[in-house]
Structure 1
Amino acid sequence: MKTLTAGRLLPLLGTLLAALLCAIGPGAGTASAHAALTSTDPADGSVVPAAPQRVVLTFSEGVLLTADSLRVLDPRGERVDEGKPAHVDGKSGTAAVGLRSGIADGTYTVAWQAVSEDSHPVAGAFTFSIGAPSKTTAKVTTAKIDPTVDALYGTGRYAAYTGFVLLVGGCVFAGVCRSSRPVQRVAVGGWLTLFGSTVALLLLRGAYTSGRGPSAVFDLAVLGDVLATKPGAALLSRLLLLSAAAVFLAVLFGSYAREDDGRTRHERRDVAYGLGAGGAVVATGLAATWAMAEHASAGLQPWLAMPVDVLHLLGVAVWLGGLAALLATLWTGEPIRRAAVQRFSRLAFASVCVLVATGLYQSWRQVGSWGALTGTEYGRLLLIKAGLVVVLVGLAYFSRRWTGRLADRTEPRKAKAPAVKAARSGKSDGVTAERAAQLARQQAALTKAAGKRKRDGDENRSGLRRSVLAETAVAVVVLAVTTLLTGTQPGRAETEQKQAAGAAGATAPAATGPAELTIDYDTGGTNGRGTAAVRIDPARSGDNTLGVSLTDPAGKPVDVPELEVSFTETRKKIGPLRASLKRLDTGRWEARGFQLPMGGEWQLTLTVRTSDIDQVTEIENVKIN
């Protein structure tokens, strides 16, 4: 059986990563609405007898409003709202806008768009009627996220998580385990990635929430609106904290990393404490920029969820970022002592314990039930993430075993080659200074290659490198799933939304198809007796086809001078709504497109006139779904 080397493992893990992202990517991309609209006043599709003073919307969680969050349009498409949308009584889960006085009867359309407290855009529309439904309604198009902007924004979020992990994990590894040039590259690369992705997210934020497309990315007015929101303030705070992080990196990998900086042991210890305290403050602040603007800030127990989310992010960064730093050290062949690897192993174990504790709380808070764990998209992604973490812990077990087998080797000090001595002393002995420097570089390259071959020949060190490489590859996938989770509606919210919809549906009559009634009438005059067969199809709120057939006692079709049918919802005082019947044939009338604004128990009134003085009105109840 062939040994799976690092060179063969990288392409394999890359293929697995691509396959997993393709499998879970499309599903998560469809979930964008986190704050769900739960009720409206006036109700969707309702008919009110008089114009209301304002329109009120209620959401499942808090929303952020702008000047155009609520638009009310009359049947001709002209706006009739006035003033800016605002929360009702300071409740962040509500939105209201006033209406102009003296607006006419007809059907009005309410178009709304907002940003949920966890930073995701939501939008929709509904209608209500004043007096009676009108024949025409305004046509509106709700804001949709531009696919290009959506893809760029998702990439930016993934890059931001990756940069944070590399920055914090690399710095912790350098301070606790070992500082080296490869570790410095990991930390600085993380800073650059986080800074660049944060700038990109700040520019893309307005286009992402407004649905205006890439053209709005560099619109300063849109950027100003973004900075006035909580997510925009969080991104700006992140940039300010990264400025402090740049100073921290300069000290950590600069003067502090040099052993011969002239400081005493006591002074170096004081600097180490200062770096530790300052680094902890900056890292916590960076993690808080996610907690204050995403899932943790909305929903159940935000006062506890936000600090727990900060701890969770820091645990992820210390573990996975440290893995990347350890891999970089092993991959470049830099010597690392067994004690340093063991310190990281203990640090990683503590991070895993923090992740388990905070992850259990977050899972309960965001999922809420066992059914939501498998019945919602968020729950399924969470299961995938949990499975990947289990794989990571299993790989970490093998890494600990390889760590226990490591042995520190003190390599003998080699005598410097004459050319190297000549290059450093400035003496040529027949060799020019340029040639001596060239020989010195060649000797250094040969020495490094020989040392690398020797380290690669160490089975224990090679085994540790392979296991850490596998851990890092799985960590890349964990970050990808984490990014998808931040863009997916939490399972608890999705379940509550479904339950609310089910409860609303339970109050309405079950859908049974067309409603049919047989009504006997007698006007009292000659040929005044007969039967009316009434059919309402599909007997649901909205457009219906109303058909009426009249027959005499013998069952033959019969015409009458006048026939009227109207509907009234007595409990809500809607109606009477009269149907415009059109005669089709002897004894047959029909009204197409007859609109009933809502479901419920309606009162059908049938009026038949058989002569100038002979008339009768019959009333029956009918259920509209």
Structure 2
Amino acid sequence: MTAQLARRGLLAGLVAWLFLVLTPAPVQAHANLVETDPADGQVVATAPETITARFDEPVSLAAAGNQLFDAQGDPVDAEFVVRDDALEITPGEELGDGTYVLSWRVISADSHPVTGGITFSVGAPSENVVTVPVVQAEREVTLLKGIAEFVRYAGVLLFAGLAVFVAVLATPVTRRDDALRGRLLRGTLIAGLAAVVGAIALVPLTALWESGEGLSAAASAFTRSGPAVAAASLVALGVAIGWFALRLRHAPLTGGAIGLTLGSLIIVGHTRSYGPFWLVLAADLLHVAAAATWIGGVIGLLIVLRSRPRTTDAAETVSRFSSLAAWAVLLLGLTAAALYWRIAGSIEGLWETAYGRLVLAKLAATVIVAAIGGWNRRTLVPRVEQSKDAARTLRRTLAAEAALLAVVVGLTSALVGAAPPVSTPSAAADEPEPTALVLDVGEDATAEIRVTPGERGVNAVEVALTDADGQPLDLEEAPQLSVALEASDIGPFDRPLSSTRPGRYEATADFPLSGTWTLRLSVRLSQFEAPVVSGEVEIP
């Protein structure tokens, strides 16, 4: 029964991760566009020798998704080069008069892809201009990457935790029972192999996810270097050394192998983009170490108690783990708070962003597991040596802990791929408010358009579509948005909208000049109904 419950928990964790992978989440860039030269929509008198897009952190170039097009959508030869936080595009020859469309795909410091694009004109705008293409990772790639991420995280945490359990906590029972030690070692090896398989699978899948390419390019993706390759190498090395060290009962070597394996988890992730570096790195490593100790201890105790060891030996092992688990839970909570503070920096972000809601879900599951563990420590652990009923109940509660911990691991691996909220300084009295438009779209639908910060330069445009009851409108295709400064005969320029969740869409728009800009929105409500509405925003 306990094994069945643990298996169900593992399945639940995987299902939770797949649900999160396949559910659209708000598009929040990890590297944010600061400015472009020329600006989006700008008309320049002479052809620029170099086009520049500057971000708020260093980026690298994705293997695909970077292209310069003319107004008809034909590719224009150009060289794309990244220098620190700037993407520089040099056309192969001087650009002629007309409008050009630039599309980019870069990788932020935490290994997440960032896409975008602009249009600009030389001499005078073209009459007809194609929209900026948006490169998105294929659904199959995202799904497989999510599965591999879950397998890697679960494998690494379980391998490291079981290694600690075998080397430190389980000695009261394993010193008299070689068969039990063998079962624990087999469980450790299986976890390690799962971690290696997941890490190796992530090498091509991460490359495809970053570039937006399909599975057909998987063979070439294996040849690309990056953090995923380094992480896979650390996992393989740590598992190999750890396995042999455990068999030789070499504690220092085992500790080093555990460090290598856990270190693979912090090579890729949000901690690479936030500081102070020493604080975030240390907190992340302690966080995964505490999680591994807790998870590995729970699974290790399940294996031990199912083997029916001597009561006194089992009681000592349970008592050892219970004492260590209490400190692990405390350390887990402290490091989680430190990491969220440095990465998100916003209490409101816990319920206003997808990243924050994932953190809350993980927190809720962790609190439940901690409550079960606390009840075990106070009620069952003192009675294990005297009561067989207490031992049986403890096995059941440990299985419940294992099931919930699988969900926690699923949520943790989901957080690796989720975008944290963009950190911004505390609101000041003179901070500009977003500009908002409310437009009627047909008889039973409303569109709310928010332009943030509502100033010259690059702005975020959010579109919310609701029905007569205020519920989100789930459309089959994204609305079409264009912006124009009609008084200066600039535009209209199409700004592609990306769906963030049902009824919600986002885009970026550059307003290079002050004035009254017209925003036009075309919404296809049905096969025969596609109203076009417009409103004006004042850009100071």
The alignment's TM-score, normalised by the length of structure 2, stands at: 0.74
How many angstroms does 1:139 deviate by? 5.6
Task: Tell me if the contact between 2:16 and 2:411 (Cα under 8 Å) persists in the aligned partners.
Answer: no
Task: Tell me if the contact between 1:34 and 1:493 (Cα under 8 Å) persists in the aligned partners.
Answer: no
The one-letter code sitting in structure 2 at the alignment partner of 1:542 is A
The one-letter code sitting in structure 1 at the alignment partner of 2:454 is G
How many angstroms does 1:473 deviate by? 1.0
In structure 1, how many angstroms separate the alpha carbons of the residues matched to 2:152 and 2:99?
Answer: 46
1:407 equivalent in alignment to 2:337: no
The one-letter code sitting in structure 1 at the alignment partner of 2:327 is A
In structure 2, how many angstroms separate the alpha carbons of the residues matched to 1:156 and 1:375?
Answer: 28
How many angstroms does 1:241 deviate by? 3.1
For 2:219, what is the secondary structure of its paired residue? Answer: coil
In structure 1, how many angstroms separate the alpha carbons of the residues matched to 2:18 and 2:149?
Answer: 18
1:505 equivalent in alignment to 2:454: yes
Q: Compared with structure 1, are the counterparts of its residues 384 and 377 closer, same or farther at alpha carbon in structure 2 (3 Å cutoff)?
A: same
Match of 2:274 among 289, 299, 318: 299
Q: Compared with structure 1, are the counterparts of its residues 386 and 568 closer, same or farther at alpha carbon in structure 2 (3 Å cutoff)?
A: closer
Aligned to 2:284: 309
1:458 equivalent in alignment to 2:388: yes
Task: Tell me if the contact between 1:66 and 1:85 (Cα under 8 Å) persists in the aligned partners.
Answer: no
Task: Tell me if the contact between 1:117 and 1:297 (Cα under 8 Å) persists in the aligned partners.
Answer: yes
Task: Show CA shifts across 1:449-499 (max 9, x none).
Answer: xxxxxxxx9101101111111111110111011011111111244999x99
Task: Show CA shifts across 1:582-624 (max 9, x none).
Answer: xxxxxxxxxxxxxx98653389xxxxxxxxxxxxxxxxxx987
Aligned to 1:50: 46
Match of 2:102 among 104, 110, 120: 110
Q: Compared with structure 1, are the counterparts of its residues 100 and 213 closer, same or farther at alpha carbon in structure 2 (3 Å cutoff)?
A: closer
In structure 2, how many angstroms separate the alpha carbons of the residues matched to 1:392 and 1:461?
Answer: 18
Task: Tell me if the contact between 2:118 and 2:132 (Cα under 8 Å) persists in the aligned partners.
Answer: no
Aligned to 2:136: 144
The one-letter code sitting in structure 2 at the alignment partner of 1:380 is R
In structure 1, how many angstroms separate the alpha carbons of the residues matched to 2:37 and 2:389?
Answer: 72
In structure 2, how many angstroms separate the alpha carbons of the residues matched to 1:289 and 1:9?
Answer: 29
Match of 1:234 among 225, 231, 237: 231
In structure 2, how many angstroms separate the alpha carbons of the residues matched to 1:623 and 1:463?
Answer: 65
How many angstroms does 1:69 deviate by? 6.1
The one-letter code sitting in structure 2 at the alignment partner of 1:135 is E
Match of 2:70 among 74, 86, 103: 74
Task: Show CA shifts across 1:292-329 (max 9, x none).
Answer: 22111113323321222111111110111111111122
Map 1:114-513 onto structure 2 (within 5 A). Answer: 114-138=106-130, 141-178=133-170, 179=174, 180-219=181-220, 222-224=221-223, 226-227=224-225, 229-251=226-248, 256=249, 275-335=250-310, 336-400=313-377, 401-407=379-385, 458-493=388-423, 503-507=452-456
For 2:348, what is the secondary structure of its paired residue? Answer: helix
Aligned to 1:542: 484
Task: Show CA shifts across 1:14-64 (max 9, x none).
Answer: 897688667755446665743233322211112222222211112243322
Q: Compared with structure 1, are the counterparts of its residues 624 and 462 closer, same or farther at alpha carbon in structure 2 (3 Å cutoff)?
A: closer
For 1:57, what is the secondary structure of its paired residue? Answer: strand
Using the aligned pairs only, state the percent identity.
27
- Which of 155-164 and 53-62 deviates more? 53-62
The one-letter code sitting in structure 1 at the alignment partner of 2:514 is G
Task: Tell me if the contact between 1:320 and 1:475 (Cα under 8 Å) persists in the aligned partners.
Answer: yes
Aligned to 1:527: none
For 2:53, what is the secondary structure of its paired residue? Answer: strand
In structure 2, how many angstroms separate the alpha carbons of the residues matched to 1:348 and 1:623?
Answer: 57
Map 1:23-62 onto structure 2 (within 5 A). Answer: 24=20, 26-27=22-23, 31=27, 33-62=29-58
Q: Compared with structure 1, are the counterparts of its residues 174 and 279 closer, same or farther at alpha carbon in structure 2 (3 Å cutoff)?
A: same
Report which of the two structures shows the higher radius of gyration computed on alpha carbons.
1
Task: Show CA shifts across 1:371-401 (max 9, x none).
Answer: 1121111111111111111111110112212
For 1:95, what is the secondary structure of its paired residue? Answer: strand
How many angstroms does 1:145 deviate by? 1.0
Q: Compared with structure 1, are the counterparts of its residues 182 and 494 closer, same or farther at alpha carbon in structure 2 (3 Å cutoff)?
A: farther
In structure 2, how many angstroms separate the alpha carbons of the residues matched to 1:208 and 1:469?
Answer: 35
In structure 2, how many angstroms separate the alpha carbons of the residues matched to 1:314 and 1:34?
Answer: 26
In structure 1, how many angstroms separate the alpha carbons of the residues matched to 2:267 and 2:411?
Answer: 20
- Which of 54-63 and 487-496 deviates more? 487-496
Task: Tell me if the contact between 2:53 and 2:86 (Cα under 8 Å) persists in the aligned partners.
Answer: yes
In structure 1, how many angstroms separate the alpha carbons of the residues matched to 2:246 and 2:485?
Answer: 67
Q: Compared with structure 1, are the counterparts of its residues 55 and 8 closer, same or farther at alpha carbon in structure 2 (3 Å cutoff)?
A: closer
How many angstroms does 1:156 deviate by? 0.4
Q: Compared with structure 1, are the counterparts of its residues 495 and 134 closer, same or farther at alpha carbon in structure 2 (3 Å cutoff)?
A: farther
Task: Tell me if the contact between 1:542 and 1:598 (Cα under 8 Å) persists in the aligned partners.
Answer: no
Task: Tell me if the contact between 2:69 and 2:100 (Cα under 8 Å) persists in the aligned partners.
Answer: yes
Q: Compared with structure 1, are the counterparts of its residues 494 and 200 closer, same or farther at alpha carbon in structure 2 (3 Å cutoff)?
A: farther
Task: Show CA shifts across 1:131-159 (max 9, x none).
Answer: 22112335663322111111111000000
In structure 2, how many angstroms separate the alpha carbons of the residues matched to 1:463 and 1:246?
Answer: 32
Aligned to 1:259: none
For 1:505, what is the secondary structure of its paired residue? Answer: coil
Task: Tell me if the contact between 1:542 and 1:597 (Cα under 8 Å) persists in the aligned partners.
Answer: no
Q: Compared with structure 1, are the counterparts of its residues 139 and 183 closer, same or farther at alpha carbon in structure 2 (3 Å cutoff)?
A: same
